Structure 1
Protein backbone atom coordinates (compact mmCIF):
# COMPACT_ATOMS: atom_id res chain seq x y z
CA UNK A 1 0.00 0.00 0.00
CA UNK A 2 1.44 3.39 -0.98
CA UNK A 3 0.35 6.97 -0.58
CA UNK A 4 -0.61 8.51 -3.91
CA UNK A 5 -0.27 12.29 -4.08
CA UNK A 6 -1.66 14.68 -6.65
CA UNK A 7 -2.76 18.29 -6.82
CA UNK A 8 -6.00 19.60 -8.24
CA UNK A 9 -5.38 22.77 -10.22
CA UNK A 10 -8.94 23.50 -11.27
CA UNK A 11 -12.52 22.71 -10.36
CA UNK A 12 -13.93 19.60 -12.01
CA UNK A 13 -17.49 19.31 -13.37
CA UNK A 14 -20.29 18.44 -10.96
CA UNK A 15 -22.97 15.96 -12.04
CA UNK A 16 -26.40 16.01 -10.36
CA UNK A 17 -28.92 13.18 -10.25
CA UNK A 18 -32.55 13.75 -9.26
CA UNK A 19 -34.75 11.75 -6.91
CA UNK A 20 -37.43 9.06 -7.23
CA UNK A 21 -40.62 10.01 -9.10
CA UNK A 22 -39.21 13.34 -10.23
CA UNK A 23 -37.43 15.00 -13.15
CA UNK A 24 -34.08 16.64 -13.74
CA UNK A 25 -35.63 20.11 -13.72
CA UNK A 26 -36.53 19.60 -10.06
CA UNK A 27 -32.82 19.95 -9.26
CA UNK A 28 -32.72 23.42 -10.86
CA UNK A 29 -33.23 25.21 -7.54
CA UNK A 30 -30.10 23.69 -6.01
CA UNK A 31 -28.12 24.03 -9.23
CA UNK A 32 -29.03 27.67 -9.80
CA UNK A 33 -27.95 28.58 -6.27
CA UNK A 34 -24.57 26.92 -6.76
CA UNK A 35 -24.15 28.53 -10.18
CA UNK A 36 -24.86 31.94 -8.69
CA UNK A 37 -22.03 31.46 -6.20
CA UNK A 38 -19.67 29.93 -8.79
CA UNK A 39 -20.64 31.09 -12.28
CA UNK A 40 -17.58 29.42 -13.84
CA UNK A 41 -18.33 25.92 -12.58
CA UNK A 42 -19.56 23.26 -15.00
CA UNK A 43 -22.81 21.84 -13.59
CA UNK A 44 -24.44 18.91 -15.39
CA UNK A 45 -28.02 17.88 -14.62
CA UNK A 46 -28.86 14.27 -15.55
CA UNK A 47 -32.20 12.59 -16.17
CA UNK A 48 -33.30 8.97 -15.86
CA UNK A 49 -34.97 8.05 -19.14
CA UNK A 50 -38.14 10.11 -19.42
CA UNK A 51 -38.12 11.09 -15.78
CA UNK A 52 -40.57 10.21 -13.02
CA UNK A 53 -42.17 6.99 -14.30
CA UNK A 54 -38.84 5.54 -15.38
CA UNK A 55 -37.48 5.95 -11.86
CA UNK A 56 -40.16 3.43 -10.87
CA UNK A 57 -40.46 1.13 -13.89
CA UNK A 58 -36.75 0.84 -14.71
CA UNK A 59 -34.50 -1.37 -12.64
CA UNK A 60 -31.74 0.33 -10.63
CA UNK A 61 -29.13 -1.03 -13.04
CA UNK A 62 -31.06 0.34 -16.03
CA UNK A 63 -31.38 3.71 -14.32
CA UNK A 64 -27.66 3.66 -13.55
CA UNK A 65 -26.95 2.96 -17.23
CA UNK A 66 -29.03 6.02 -18.13
CA UNK A 67 -26.99 8.05 -15.65
CA UNK A 68 -23.78 6.64 -17.14
CA UNK A 69 -24.84 7.74 -20.62
CA UNK A 70 -25.53 11.26 -19.40
CA UNK A 71 -22.15 11.43 -17.69
CA UNK A 72 -20.03 9.84 -20.39
CA UNK A 73 -21.68 11.53 -23.38
CA UNK A 74 -20.47 14.85 -21.99
CA UNK A 75 -16.75 15.34 -22.78
CA UNK A 76 -16.34 17.62 -19.77
CA UNK A 77 -16.53 14.65 -17.39
CA UNK A 78 -13.83 12.49 -18.98
CA UNK A 79 -11.05 13.69 -16.66
CA UNK A 80 -13.21 13.27 -13.58
CA UNK A 81 -16.27 14.73 -11.90
CA UNK A 82 -18.03 15.13 -8.56
CA UNK A 83 -21.19 13.02 -8.28
CA UNK A 84 -24.09 14.56 -6.35
CA UNK A 85 -27.26 12.52 -5.89
CA UNK A 86 -30.44 13.53 -4.12
CA UNK A 87 -32.54 10.78 -2.50
CA UNK A 88 -32.90 7.92 -5.04
CA UNK A 89 -30.33 9.73 -7.18
CA UNK A 90 -27.75 9.25 -4.43
CA UNK A 91 -28.21 5.48 -4.62
CA UNK A 92 -27.77 5.60 -8.40
CA UNK A 93 -24.54 7.56 -7.92
CA UNK A 94 -23.30 4.93 -5.48
CA UNK A 95 -24.13 2.17 -7.96
CA UNK A 96 -22.28 4.04 -10.73
CA UNK A 97 -19.25 4.55 -8.49
CA UNK A 98 -18.89 0.91 -7.55
CA UNK A 99 -19.74 -0.67 -10.90
CA UNK A 100 -18.27 1.77 -13.42
CA UNK A 101 -15.56 3.92 -11.87
CA UNK A 102 -12.79 1.74 -13.36
CA UNK A 103 -14.12 1.77 -16.93
CA UNK A 104 -16.03 5.03 -17.41
CA UNK A 105 -15.56 8.70 -16.51
CA UNK A 106 -14.20 8.59 -12.95
CA UNK A 107 -16.10 10.04 -10.03
CA UNK A 108 -13.59 11.87 -7.81
CA UNK A 109 -15.95 12.64 -4.94
CA UNK A 110 -19.32 11.18 -3.96
CA UNK A 111 -21.94 13.41 -2.33
CA UNK A 112 -25.22 11.93 -1.09
CA UNK A 113 -28.08 14.27 -0.19
CA UNK A 114 -30.60 12.36 1.97
CA UNK A 115 -29.92 9.19 0.03
CA UNK A 116 -31.06 5.67 0.98
CA UNK A 117 -27.48 4.53 0.46
CA UNK A 118 -27.93 1.56 2.83
CA UNK A 119 -31.39 0.67 1.55
CA UNK A 120 -35.04 1.41 2.25
CA UNK A 121 -37.89 -0.42 3.95
CA UNK A 122 -41.42 0.47 4.94
CA UNK A 123 -43.59 -2.22 6.54
CA UNK A 124 -46.79 -2.46 8.56
CA UNK A 125 -45.26 -0.74 11.60
CA UNK A 126 -43.34 2.00 9.80
CA UNK A 127 -44.52 5.58 9.43
CA UNK A 128 -44.14 5.98 5.69
CA UNK A 129 -44.18 9.42 4.16
CA UNK A 130 -46.93 8.81 1.62
CA UNK A 131 -49.02 6.06 3.22
CA UNK A 132 -48.14 6.70 6.88
CA UNK A 133 -48.69 3.03 7.77
CA UNK A 134 -48.76 0.63 4.81
CA UNK A 135 -52.04 -1.29 4.51
CA UNK A 136 -51.45 -4.89 5.62
CA UNK A 137 -52.46 -6.35 2.25
CA UNK A 138 -49.97 -4.10 0.46
CA UNK A 139 -47.19 -4.93 2.89
CA UNK A 140 -47.84 -8.67 2.44
CA UNK A 141 -47.91 -8.31 -1.34
CA UNK A 142 -44.59 -6.44 -1.41
CA UNK A 143 -43.02 -8.99 0.94
CA UNK A 144 -43.94 -11.92 -1.28
CA UNK A 145 -42.95 -10.28 -4.57
CA UNK A 146 -40.16 -7.75 -4.05
CA UNK A 147 -37.29 -10.25 -4.31
CA UNK A 148 -38.64 -12.10 -7.34
CA UNK A 149 -36.69 -11.74 -10.56
CA UNK A 150 -39.62 -9.96 -12.19
CA UNK A 151 -39.68 -7.20 -9.58
CA UNK A 152 -35.93 -6.88 -9.27
CA UNK A 153 -35.66 -6.41 -13.04
CA UNK A 154 -38.62 -4.08 -13.53
CA UNK A 155 -39.32 -2.08 -10.36
CA UNK A 156 -36.67 0.48 -9.39
CA UNK A 157 -37.05 0.61 -5.58
CA UNK A 158 -36.87 -3.20 -5.42
CA UNK A 159 -33.14 -2.91 -6.08
CA UNK A 160 -32.49 -1.23 -2.72
CA UNK A 161 -35.43 -2.65 -0.71
CA UNK A 162 -33.90 -4.12 2.46
CA UNK A 163 -36.56 -6.08 4.36
CA UNK A 164 -35.34 -6.78 7.93
CA UNK A 165 -37.88 -9.61 8.24
CA UNK A 166 -36.42 -11.63 5.37
CA UNK A 167 -32.75 -10.76 5.25
CA UNK A 168 -31.68 -14.18 3.97
CA UNK A 169 -33.89 -13.69 0.92
CA UNK A 170 -32.59 -10.14 0.54
CA UNK A 171 -28.97 -11.29 0.59
CA UNK A 172 -29.67 -14.05 -1.93
CA UNK A 173 -31.94 -12.24 -4.37
CA UNK A 174 -31.33 -8.48 -4.18
CA UNK A 175 -30.09 -7.48 -7.62
CA UNK A 176 -28.17 -4.39 -6.48
CA UNK A 177 -27.85 -3.49 -2.79
CA UNK A 178 -26.61 -6.80 -1.39
CA UNK A 179 -24.30 -7.05 -4.41
CA UNK A 180 -22.55 -3.72 -3.97
CA UNK A 181 -22.46 -4.27 -0.19
CA UNK A 182 -20.52 -7.49 -0.95
CA UNK A 183 -22.72 -9.13 1.68
CA UNK A 184 -22.39 -12.71 0.37
CA UNK A 185 -19.16 -12.65 -1.61
CA UNK A 186 -16.59 -9.93 -2.21
CA UNK A 187 -16.30 -8.34 -5.62
CA UNK A 188 -12.91 -6.63 -5.33
CA UNK A 189 -13.71 -4.18 -8.14
CA UNK A 190 -16.78 -2.89 -6.29
CA UNK A 191 -14.68 -2.45 -3.15
CA UNK A 192 -11.76 -0.71 -4.85
CA UNK A 193 -14.08 1.55 -6.81
CA UNK A 194 -15.86 2.57 -3.60
CA UNK A 195 -12.50 3.59 -2.16
CA UNK A 196 -11.36 5.40 -5.31
CA UNK A 197 -13.01 8.72 -4.46
CA UNK A 198 -11.19 11.28 -2.31
CA UNK A 199 -14.09 11.37 0.12
CA UNK A 200 -17.74 10.50 0.60
CA UNK A 201 -20.10 13.16 1.95
CA UNK A 202 -23.33 11.97 3.58
CA UNK A 203 -26.01 14.57 4.29
CA UNK A 204 -28.88 13.32 6.43
CA UNK A 205 -31.23 14.22 9.26
CA UNK A 206 -33.42 12.59 11.92
CA UNK A 207 -36.14 14.96 10.67
CA UNK A 208 -36.01 13.55 7.13
CA UNK A 209 -39.48 12.00 7.25
CA UNK A 210 -39.22 10.04 4.00
CA UNK A 211 -36.14 7.82 4.01
CA UNK A 212 -36.84 4.67 6.07
CA UNK A 213 -34.85 4.35 8.19
CA UNK A 214 -33.45 7.85 8.08
CA UNK A 215 -30.12 6.43 9.30
CA UNK A 216 -29.74 4.79 5.89
CA UNK A 217 -28.41 8.16 4.72
CA UNK A 218 -25.44 7.45 7.02
CA UNK A 219 -25.14 3.74 6.12
CA UNK A 220 -27.27 2.61 9.06
CA UNK A 221 -29.72 -0.32 8.66
CA UNK A 222 -32.66 -1.88 10.44
CA UNK A 223 -31.78 -4.71 12.80
CA UNK A 224 -32.81 -8.24 11.88
CA UNK A 225 -36.58 -8.73 12.48
CA UNK A 226 -37.12 -5.14 13.62
CA UNK A 227 -38.28 -1.88 12.09
CA UNK A 228 -37.43 0.15 15.17
CA UNK A 229 -33.97 -1.04 16.24
CA UNK A 230 -31.14 0.41 14.15
CA UNK A 231 -27.65 -0.93 13.53
CA UNK A 232 -25.45 2.09 12.91
CA UNK A 233 -22.71 2.16 10.28
CA UNK A 234 -19.85 1.06 12.52
CA UNK A 235 -21.77 -1.86 14.04
CA UNK A 236 -22.76 -3.46 10.73
CA UNK A 237 -21.04 -6.71 9.80
CA UNK A 238 -20.24 -5.22 6.37
CA UNK A 239 -18.37 -2.44 8.16
CA UNK A 240 -16.58 -4.76 10.60
CA UNK A 241 -15.52 -7.08 7.76
CA UNK A 242 -14.82 -4.08 5.50
CA UNK A 243 -16.63 -5.96 2.76
CA UNK A 244 -16.93 -2.98 0.40
CA UNK A 245 -14.41 -0.53 1.87
CA UNK A 246 -16.64 1.39 4.26
CA UNK A 247 -14.40 0.77 7.27
CA UNK A 248 -11.25 1.70 5.38
CA UNK A 249 -12.79 4.93 4.15
CA UNK A 250 -14.00 5.88 7.63
CA UNK A 251 -10.72 5.02 9.37
CA UNK A 252 -8.90 7.19 6.85
CA UNK A 253 -11.28 10.07 7.68
CA UNK A 254 -12.66 10.05 4.15
CA UNK A 255 -16.32 9.83 5.15
CA UNK A 256 -18.08 13.01 6.27
CA UNK A 257 -21.40 12.52 8.07
CA UNK A 258 -23.34 15.78 8.27
CA UNK A 259 -26.60 16.37 10.13
CA UNK A 260 -28.54 19.09 8.29
CA UNK A 261 -31.62 19.09 10.57
CA UNK A 262 -33.78 19.28 7.43
CA UNK A 263 -36.86 17.41 6.26
CA UNK A 264 -36.54 15.53 3.00
CA UNK A 265 -38.16 18.16 0.80
CA UNK A 266 -36.41 21.13 2.40
CA UNK A 267 -33.18 20.28 0.58
CA UNK A 268 -34.82 21.35 -2.66
CA UNK A 269 -35.33 24.98 -1.68
CA UNK A 270 -33.09 25.74 1.31
CA UNK A 271 -30.55 28.42 0.44
CA UNK A 272 -28.86 27.87 3.80
CA UNK A 273 -28.27 24.21 2.96
CA UNK A 274 -26.65 25.09 -0.35
CA UNK A 275 -24.58 27.98 1.00
CA UNK A 276 -23.47 26.55 4.34
CA UNK A 277 -23.45 22.79 3.77
CA UNK A 278 -23.37 21.71 0.12
CA UNK A 279 -21.29 24.27 -1.78
CA UNK A 280 -18.21 23.99 0.51
CA UNK A 281 -18.18 20.21 -0.05
CA UNK A 282 -18.04 20.71 -3.82
CA UNK A 283 -14.80 22.66 -3.84
CA UNK A 284 -11.89 20.59 -5.08
CA UNK A 285 -9.01 22.50 -3.54
CA UNK A 286 -9.14 20.08 -0.60
CA UNK A 287 -8.40 17.09 -2.87
CA UNK A 288 -4.89 15.84 -2.08
CA UNK A 289 -4.24 12.11 -2.05
CA UNK A 290 -5.00 8.83 -0.33
CA UNK A 291 -3.80 5.35 0.51
CA UNK A 292 -4.41 2.83 -2.22
CA UNK A 293 -3.62 -0.79 -3.09
CA UNK A 294 -2.04 0.07 -6.41
CA UNK A 295 -0.89 -3.48 -7.09
CA UNK A 296 -4.50 -4.74 -6.87
CA UNK A 297 -6.00 -2.16 -9.21
CA UNK A 298 -4.70 -2.68 -12.72
CA UNK A 299 -6.84 -0.21 -14.66
CA UNK A 300 -6.41 3.11 -16.39
CA UNK A 301 -7.08 4.81 -13.04
CA UNK A 302 -3.66 3.74 -11.71
CA UNK A 303 -2.03 6.17 -14.06
CA UNK A 304 -4.53 8.59 -15.53
CA UNK A 305 -6.33 9.59 -12.30
CA UNK A 306 -3.79 9.21 -9.53
CA UNK A 307 -0.50 10.20 -11.15
CA UNK A 308 -1.42 13.31 -13.09
CA UNK A 309 -2.39 16.85 -12.30
CA UNK A 310 -6.04 17.46 -13.02
Structure 2
Protein backbone atom coordinates (compact mmCIF):
# COMPACT_ATOMS: atom_id res chain seq x y z
CA UNK A 1 0.00 0.00 0.00
CA UNK A 2 1.33 3.42 -0.93
CA UNK A 3 1.49 6.12 1.69
CA UNK A 4 3.14 9.49 2.17
CA UNK A 5 3.98 11.06 5.49
CA UNK A 6 4.87 14.66 6.13
CA UNK A 7 6.59 15.06 9.47
CA UNK A 8 7.30 18.30 11.28
CA UNK A 9 9.73 18.69 14.17
CA UNK A 10 11.08 21.75 15.94
CA UNK A 11 13.75 22.54 13.39
CA UNK A 12 13.34 20.01 10.65
CA UNK A 13 10.94 18.88 8.01
CA UNK A 14 10.93 15.46 6.47
CA UNK A 15 8.76 13.58 4.07
CA UNK A 16 8.82 9.91 3.32
CA UNK A 17 7.60 8.01 0.30
CA UNK A 18 6.84 4.35 0.89
CA UNK A 19 5.83 1.78 -1.71
CA UNK A 20 6.46 -1.62 -0.15
CA UNK A 21 7.03 -3.41 3.13
CA UNK A 22 10.63 -4.65 3.19
CA UNK A 23 12.62 -5.64 6.26
CA UNK A 24 15.38 -3.03 6.22
CA UNK A 25 16.81 -4.01 9.58
CA UNK A 26 19.91 -5.78 8.24
CA UNK A 27 20.43 -4.19 4.84
CA UNK A 28 23.94 -2.80 4.24
CA UNK A 29 24.39 0.94 3.84
CA UNK A 30 26.28 3.17 1.42
CA UNK A 31 27.09 6.69 2.67
CA UNK A 32 27.59 9.72 0.38
CA UNK A 33 29.41 12.66 1.99
CA UNK A 34 28.90 16.34 1.17
CA UNK A 35 31.07 18.94 -0.52
CA UNK A 36 34.63 19.11 0.83
CA UNK A 37 33.87 16.02 2.90
CA UNK A 38 35.29 12.51 3.05
CA UNK A 39 34.53 9.04 4.38
CA UNK A 40 35.24 10.07 7.98
CA UNK A 41 32.04 12.14 7.96
CA UNK A 42 30.21 8.82 8.25
CA UNK A 43 31.88 7.79 11.51
CA UNK A 44 28.74 8.17 13.65
CA UNK A 45 26.70 6.17 11.15
CA UNK A 46 29.40 3.52 11.00
CA UNK A 47 29.54 3.26 14.79
CA UNK A 48 25.78 3.08 15.31
CA UNK A 49 24.82 0.94 12.33
CA UNK A 50 27.63 -1.59 12.64
CA UNK A 51 26.54 -2.03 16.25
CA UNK A 52 23.24 -3.23 14.79
CA UNK A 53 25.12 -5.79 12.74
CA UNK A 54 25.03 -3.88 9.47
CA UNK A 55 27.78 -3.27 6.97
CA UNK A 56 28.37 0.42 6.27
CA UNK A 57 30.42 1.56 3.28
CA UNK A 58 31.45 5.22 3.34
CA UNK A 59 32.15 5.94 -0.32
CA UNK A 60 35.52 7.39 -1.29
CA UNK A 61 35.10 8.02 -5.02
CA UNK A 62 35.69 11.79 -4.78
CA UNK A 63 36.83 13.16 -1.43
CA UNK A 64 37.89 16.59 -0.16
CA UNK A 65 39.08 18.83 -3.08
CA UNK A 66 37.81 16.29 -5.60
CA UNK A 67 34.27 16.84 -4.28
CA UNK A 68 34.37 20.36 -5.74
CA UNK A 69 34.58 18.75 -9.17
CA UNK A 70 31.59 18.84 -11.51
CA UNK A 71 28.86 16.47 -10.35
CA UNK A 72 28.37 15.24 -13.91
CA UNK A 73 31.88 13.78 -13.56
CA UNK A 74 31.41 12.50 -10.01
CA UNK A 75 28.29 10.42 -10.69
CA UNK A 76 30.05 7.85 -12.94
CA UNK A 77 32.77 7.49 -10.29
CA UNK A 78 30.17 6.82 -7.62
CA UNK A 79 28.42 4.23 -9.77
CA UNK A 80 31.69 2.49 -10.61
CA UNK A 81 32.69 2.17 -6.95
CA UNK A 82 29.26 0.91 -5.90
CA UNK A 83 29.18 -1.68 -8.67
CA UNK A 84 32.64 -2.92 -7.78
CA UNK A 85 31.72 -3.34 -4.12
CA UNK A 86 28.39 -5.03 -4.88
CA UNK A 87 29.96 -7.40 -7.41
CA UNK A 88 32.48 -8.65 -4.87
CA UNK A 89 30.13 -9.46 -2.00
CA UNK A 90 26.91 -11.47 -1.86
CA UNK A 91 26.00 -9.38 1.17
CA UNK A 92 24.43 -6.84 -1.20
CA UNK A 93 22.38 -9.33 -3.20
CA UNK A 94 19.12 -8.59 -1.36
CA UNK A 95 19.48 -4.83 -1.64
CA UNK A 96 20.98 -1.94 0.25
CA UNK A 97 20.33 1.55 1.60
CA UNK A 98 21.70 4.89 0.43
CA UNK A 99 22.29 7.60 3.04
CA UNK A 100 23.38 10.95 1.64
CA UNK A 101 24.26 14.33 3.10
CA UNK A 102 24.35 17.76 1.45
CA UNK A 103 25.89 17.54 -2.04
CA UNK A 104 25.79 13.78 -1.63
CA UNK A 105 22.02 14.14 -2.08
CA UNK A 106 21.95 15.06 -5.77
CA UNK A 107 24.90 12.76 -6.51
CA UNK A 108 23.18 9.76 -4.93
CA UNK A 109 19.85 10.46 -6.63
CA UNK A 110 21.59 10.76 -9.99
CA UNK A 111 23.31 7.43 -9.31
CA UNK A 112 19.95 5.82 -8.57
CA UNK A 113 18.44 7.19 -11.78
CA UNK A 114 21.41 6.11 -13.89
CA UNK A 115 21.85 2.59 -12.50
CA UNK A 116 19.50 0.24 -14.32
CA UNK A 117 20.91 -2.53 -12.11
CA UNK A 118 20.62 -0.81 -8.72
CA UNK A 119 19.05 -2.54 -5.73
CA UNK A 120 18.55 0.50 -3.51
CA UNK A 121 15.59 -0.29 -1.28
CA UNK A 122 15.60 2.71 1.04
CA UNK A 123 16.97 6.16 0.24
CA UNK A 124 17.69 8.74 2.96
CA UNK A 125 18.69 12.30 2.03
CA UNK A 126 19.71 14.72 4.79
CA UNK A 127 19.93 18.41 3.88
CA UNK A 128 20.36 16.91 0.44
CA UNK A 129 20.27 19.90 -1.92
CA UNK A 130 17.84 17.97 -4.09
CA UNK A 131 16.55 20.95 -6.04
CA UNK A 132 19.76 22.91 -6.30
CA UNK A 133 21.05 26.13 -4.80
CA UNK A 134 20.08 29.76 -5.29
CA UNK A 135 20.68 32.71 -2.98
CA UNK A 136 17.29 34.44 -2.94
CA UNK A 137 15.66 37.01 -0.66
CA UNK A 138 15.10 34.49 2.14
CA UNK A 139 18.11 34.76 4.49
CA UNK A 140 19.99 36.95 2.00
CA UNK A 141 21.31 38.97 4.93
CA UNK A 142 22.92 35.82 6.31
CA UNK A 143 24.52 35.13 2.94
CA UNK A 144 25.91 38.67 2.83
CA UNK A 145 27.44 38.28 6.27
CA UNK A 146 28.75 34.74 5.99
CA UNK A 147 28.77 33.20 2.52
CA UNK A 148 31.50 35.21 0.78
CA UNK A 149 34.47 33.14 2.02
CA UNK A 150 32.60 29.87 1.44
CA UNK A 151 31.55 30.73 -2.11
CA UNK A 152 35.13 31.60 -3.00
CA UNK A 153 36.20 28.06 -2.07
CA UNK A 154 33.73 26.55 -4.53
CA UNK A 155 34.76 28.33 -7.73
CA UNK A 156 38.18 29.88 -8.47
CA UNK A 157 38.33 33.63 -8.98
CA UNK A 158 39.75 33.09 -12.44
CA UNK A 159 36.34 31.72 -13.44
CA UNK A 160 33.90 33.75 -11.38
CA UNK A 161 35.15 36.30 -8.89
CA UNK A 162 32.75 36.41 -5.95
CA UNK A 163 35.14 38.85 -4.25
CA UNK A 164 34.20 41.50 -6.80
CA UNK A 165 30.68 41.74 -5.35
CA UNK A 166 29.66 43.85 -2.39
CA UNK A 167 26.68 43.40 -0.05
CA UNK A 168 24.35 45.34 -2.34
CA UNK A 169 25.11 42.94 -5.19
CA UNK A 170 23.64 39.97 -3.31
CA UNK A 171 20.19 41.36 -4.11
CA UNK A 172 20.18 39.85 -7.59
CA UNK A 173 23.13 41.32 -9.48
CA UNK A 174 25.66 38.68 -8.41
CA UNK A 175 23.18 35.88 -9.07
CA UNK A 176 22.31 37.26 -12.52
CA UNK A 177 25.97 37.62 -13.44
CA UNK A 178 26.65 34.04 -12.33
CA UNK A 179 23.83 32.81 -14.54
CA UNK A 180 25.14 34.78 -17.51
CA UNK A 181 28.62 33.35 -16.94
CA UNK A 182 27.16 29.83 -16.85
CA UNK A 183 25.28 30.35 -20.10
CA UNK A 184 28.16 32.03 -21.91
CA UNK A 185 30.65 29.38 -20.72
CA UNK A 186 28.93 26.00 -21.11
CA UNK A 187 32.19 24.14 -20.45
CA UNK A 188 31.92 25.37 -16.86
CA UNK A 189 29.36 22.59 -16.36
CA UNK A 190 32.27 20.15 -16.54
CA UNK A 191 34.50 21.97 -14.06
CA UNK A 192 32.94 22.66 -10.65
CA UNK A 193 29.89 21.27 -8.90
CA UNK A 194 28.63 24.75 -8.05
CA UNK A 195 27.69 25.23 -11.69
CA UNK A 196 25.69 21.97 -11.69
CA UNK A 197 23.61 22.80 -8.61
CA UNK A 198 22.78 26.40 -9.52
CA UNK A 199 18.99 26.32 -9.79
CA UNK A 200 18.30 29.84 -11.04
CA UNK A 201 14.67 30.97 -11.35
CA UNK A 202 14.42 31.45 -15.12
CA UNK A 203 13.30 28.07 -16.35
CA UNK A 204 13.94 28.46 -20.07
CA UNK A 205 17.66 29.07 -19.69
CA UNK A 206 18.06 26.82 -16.64
CA UNK A 207 16.56 23.80 -18.40
CA UNK A 208 19.04 24.04 -21.27
CA UNK A 209 22.19 25.62 -19.80
CA UNK A 210 22.47 23.50 -16.65
CA UNK A 211 23.65 20.06 -17.75
CA UNK A 212 22.95 18.26 -14.48
CA UNK A 213 19.91 19.20 -12.41
CA UNK A 214 17.34 19.49 -15.25
CA UNK A 215 18.43 16.06 -16.48
CA UNK A 216 17.85 14.27 -13.17
CA UNK A 217 14.67 16.23 -12.51
CA UNK A 218 13.66 15.06 -16.00
CA UNK A 219 12.76 18.57 -17.15
CA UNK A 220 15.48 18.73 -19.79
CA UNK A 221 14.10 19.42 -23.24
CA UNK A 222 13.88 16.58 -25.73
CA UNK A 223 13.79 17.84 -29.29
CA UNK A 224 11.20 16.37 -31.68
CA UNK A 225 12.46 13.04 -32.96
CA UNK A 226 15.09 12.66 -30.24
CA UNK A 227 13.98 9.20 -29.19
CA UNK A 228 17.14 8.60 -27.15
CA UNK A 229 16.40 11.62 -24.97
CA UNK A 230 12.84 10.44 -24.40
CA UNK A 231 14.01 6.89 -23.66
CA UNK A 232 16.57 8.17 -21.15
CA UNK A 233 13.92 10.20 -19.33
CA UNK A 234 11.68 7.13 -19.07
CA UNK A 235 14.61 4.99 -17.93
CA UNK A 236 15.65 7.44 -15.21
CA UNK A 237 12.11 7.65 -13.88
CA UNK A 238 11.75 3.86 -13.86
CA UNK A 239 15.00 3.54 -11.93
CA UNK A 240 13.90 6.11 -9.32
CA UNK A 241 10.62 4.24 -8.89
CA UNK A 242 12.49 1.03 -8.01
CA UNK A 243 12.93 2.58 -4.55
CA UNK A 244 10.67 1.14 -1.88
CA UNK A 245 11.16 4.06 0.50
CA UNK A 246 12.57 7.55 0.13
CA UNK A 247 13.05 9.91 3.09
CA UNK A 248 14.06 13.55 2.64
CA UNK A 249 15.09 15.69 5.61
CA UNK A 250 15.48 19.47 5.73
CA UNK A 251 15.79 22.13 8.40
CA UNK A 252 14.59 25.71 8.51
CA UNK A 253 17.72 26.36 10.58
CA UNK A 254 19.91 25.38 7.62
CA UNK A 255 22.01 28.40 6.72
CA UNK A 256 24.06 26.73 3.98
CA UNK A 257 21.43 25.30 1.61
CA UNK A 258 19.62 28.22 -0.04
CA UNK A 259 16.67 27.99 0.08
CA UNK A 260 16.57 25.31 2.75
CA UNK A 261 13.39 23.94 1.15
CA UNK A 262 15.52 22.72 -1.77
CA UNK A 263 16.35 19.65 0.32
CA UNK A 264 12.65 18.68 0.15
CA UNK A 265 12.33 19.73 -3.52
CA UNK A 266 11.22 23.33 -3.02
CA UNK A 267 12.62 26.23 -5.03
CA UNK A 268 12.15 29.92 -5.75
CA UNK A 269 9.39 31.21 -8.02
CA UNK A 270 10.20 31.87 -11.67
CA UNK A 271 10.87 35.11 -13.55
CA UNK A 272 10.38 35.64 -17.27
CA UNK A 273 13.84 36.91 -18.16
CA UNK A 274 17.37 36.64 -16.83
CA UNK A 275 17.42 40.41 -16.27
CA UNK A 276 14.49 40.00 -13.87
CA UNK A 277 16.65 37.85 -11.60
CA UNK A 278 18.05 41.22 -10.54
CA UNK A 279 15.15 43.60 -11.13
CA UNK A 280 12.50 41.37 -9.51
CA UNK A 281 14.75 39.72 -6.95
CA UNK A 282 12.76 40.79 -3.91
CA UNK A 283 9.56 39.44 -5.47
CA UNK A 284 10.87 35.87 -5.47
CA UNK A 285 8.93 33.56 -3.18
CA UNK A 286 9.29 29.94 -2.13
CA UNK A 287 7.47 27.34 -4.21
CA UNK A 288 6.92 24.22 -2.15
CA UNK A 289 7.40 20.75 -3.59
CA UNK A 290 3.72 20.07 -4.29
CA UNK A 291 3.52 23.09 -6.60
CA UNK A 292 6.66 22.45 -8.64
CA UNK A 293 6.64 21.20 -12.22
CA UNK A 294 8.63 18.16 -11.15
CA UNK A 295 5.87 17.13 -8.74
CA UNK A 296 2.71 18.16 -10.58
CA UNK A 297 3.91 16.56 -13.83
CA UNK A 298 5.60 13.69 -11.98
CA UNK A 299 8.63 14.15 -14.19
CA UNK A 300 10.93 11.67 -12.42
CA UNK A 301 8.51 9.82 -10.15
CA UNK A 302 8.28 12.05 -7.08
CA UNK A 303 4.47 12.30 -7.12
CA UNK A 304 4.04 8.61 -7.89
Q: Same fold (TM over 0.5)?
A: yes
**Structure 2 match to 1:69:** 80
**Structure 2 match to 1:243:** 299
1:142 aligns with 2:178: yes
The verdict on how the C-alpha distance between 1:10 and 1:29 changes in structure 2, with shifts beyond 3 A counting, is closer
- Once the two structures are superposed, the pairs formed by residues 261-300 of structure 1 within 5 Å of their partners are none
1:201 offset after TM fit, Å?
Answer: 0.2
- Counterpart of 2:125 in 1: which secondary structure? strand
**Structure 1 match to 2:196:** 159
**Structure 2 match to 1:303:** none
The verdict on how the C-alpha distance between 1:209 and 1:9 changes in structure 2, with shifts beyond 3 A counting, is closer
**Structure 1 match to 2:147:** 130
- Once the two structures are superposed, the pairs formed by residues 92-107 of structure 1 within 5 Å of their partners are 92-100=107-115, 102-103=116-117, 105-107=118-120
**Structure 2 match to 1:54:** 66
- Counterparts of 1:5 and 1:195 in 2: how far apart (Å)? 11
Could you tell me which runs of 5 or more consecutive residues in structure 2 were left unpaired when the two chains were aligned: 1-18, 152-161, 223-229, 272-280
Could you tell me which runs of 5 or more consecutive residues in structure 1 were left unpaired when the two chains were aligned: 249-310
**Structure 1 match to 2:206:** 170
1:108 aligns with 2:144: no
**C-alpha RMSD of matched pairs (Å):** 2.6
- Counterparts of 1:68 and 1:80 in 2: how far apart (Å)? 15
Q: Name which of 239, 263, 272 aligns with 1:193.
A: 239
1:167 offset after TM fit, Å?
Answer: 2.5
- Counterparts of 2:21 and 2:47 in 1: how far apart (Å)? 30
**Structure 2 match to 1:231:** 287
- Counterparts of 2:302 and 2:33 in 1: how far apart (Å)? 24
- Counterparts of 2:217 and 2:82 in 1: how far apart (Å)? 24
1:46-88 per-position Cα deviation (integer Å, ceiling 9, x unaligned): 0233x121111x2212211221122111134354211110000
CA contact (8 A) 2:136 2:259 kept: no
- Counterparts of 1:25 and 1:229 in 2: how far apart (Å)? 37
- Counterparts of 1:151 and 1:182 in 2: how far apart (Å)? 21
